[in-house]
């Protein structure tokens, strides 16, 4: 009998050498992606930037800003071909755990009002809608509103 090895997921801090791969994902999953400079600035600012790897291949990433007793999730993304397989939940849980370990009492994020799959995930993970940020995101026909969502950690 032979055993089939399951793919192994690991988390590690994001590095500048990861940015080409990250931009490959970012440009596919978003109509208005972050720039390479946004990620580089986040790394240089000391934000908590992480990648999710499966068998050493980056399949997701997240950027978390920690300040005093709050955490703000600035970006969380899973490669298009890996979406809807539980990786978003896994990565979000990691960010929530990191926020708690750094003493954050609350975690916040913005999400496009049209991004139903992400909103559903956030709600399942305990986030609640707190407010609407009018015209927060760029869109194809003007700007799009965002929900500000929050979670007590």
What's 114's domain CATH number?
3.40.630.30
Q: Which of 3-17, 101-115, 136-150 has the highest mean pLDDT?
A: 101-115
Q: Which residues span the domain enclosing 118?
A: 9-152
Q: Is residue 103 part of a domain?
A: yes
Instruction: Give percent of the chain with pLDDT exceeding 70.
Output: 96
5 has pLDDT over 80: no
Q: Is residue 142 part of a domain?
A: yes
Q: Is residue 3 part of a domain?
A: no
2 has pLDDT over 70: no
Q: Is residue 63 part of a domain?
A: yes
Residue reference for tokens 């956030």 = 122
Q: Is residue 135 part of a domain?
A: yes
Q: Which residues are catalytic?
A: 110, 122
Q: Is residue 40 part of a domain?
A: yes
Alpha-carbon 104 to chain mean position? 17
Mean model confidence pLDDT for the chain: 94
Instruction: Give the number of domains in the chain.
Output: 1
- For the CA atoms of 118, 32, 146, 142, what is the dihedral angle to 10 degrees? -140
34 has pLDDT over 90: yes
24 has pLDDT over 90: yes
Alpha-carbon span 14 to 136, nearest angstrom: 26
């Amino acid at each position: 009998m032979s055993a089939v090895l399951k793919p192994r997921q690991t988390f590690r801090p994001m590095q500048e050498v990861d940015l080409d791969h990250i931009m490959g994902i970012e440009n596919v999953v978003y109509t208005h992606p972050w720039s390479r400079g946004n990620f580089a600035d986040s790394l240089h600012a000391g934000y908590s930037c992480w990648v999710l790897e499966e068998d050493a291949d980056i399949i997701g990433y997240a950027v978390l800003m920690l300040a005093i007793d709050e955490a703000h999730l600035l970006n969380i993304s899973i490669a298009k071909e890996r979406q809807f397989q539980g990786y978003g939940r896994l990565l979000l849980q990691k960010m929530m755990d990191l926020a708690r370990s750094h003493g954050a009492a609350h975690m916040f994020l913005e999400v496009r009002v049209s991004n139903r799959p992400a909103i559903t995930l956030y709600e399942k993970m305990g986030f609640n809608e707190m407010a609407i940020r009018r015209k927060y995101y760029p869109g194809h026909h003007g700007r799009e509103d965002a929900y500000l969502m929050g979670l007590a950690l």
